[in-house]
């Protein structure tokens, strides 16, 4: 991956700092926007609401030490996830 500003999965916010972490488009090319856990072969791996995604992702961010506790994590994720491409609301 070329040197660029840090990119995050536009579904789960996982850092996309390695090509091995990127999902794939329908033709097999690497997705510029999504990780392999959220997006494969041009489609999301799970149909879920943003709130369900946050609950599914909580254990991973807590294990990684991103937030000190579940309440803080949930609160911050509820602020950040709406800025991600998958969860942005059309105005």
- For the stretch 70-84, pLDDT in tens is 999 999 999 999 999
Say how many C-beta atoms besides its own lie within 10 A of residue 34's C-beta: 28
Q: Rounded to 5 degrees, what angle do the CA atoms 59, 40, 91 make?
A: 75
- Under DSSP, the state recorded for 15 is B
CA 71 to chain CA centroid, Å, is: 19
Consecutive H or E run containing 41: none
Per residue in 2-27, pLDDT (tens digit) is 445 779 999 999 999 999 999 999 99
Coil, helix or strand at residue 71: helix
């Amino acid at each position: 991956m070329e040197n660029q500003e840090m990119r995050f999965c536009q579904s789960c916010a996982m850092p996309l700092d390695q090509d091995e972490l990127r999902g794939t488009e329908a033709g097999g090319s690497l997705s510029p926007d999504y990780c392999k856990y959220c997006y494969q072969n041009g489609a999301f791996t799970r149909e879920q609401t943003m709130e369900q995604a946050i609950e599914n992702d909580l254990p991973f961010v807590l294990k990684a030490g991103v937030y000190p506790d579940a309440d803080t994590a949930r609160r911050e994720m509820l602020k950040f996830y709406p800025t991600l491409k998958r969860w942005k609301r059309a105005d």
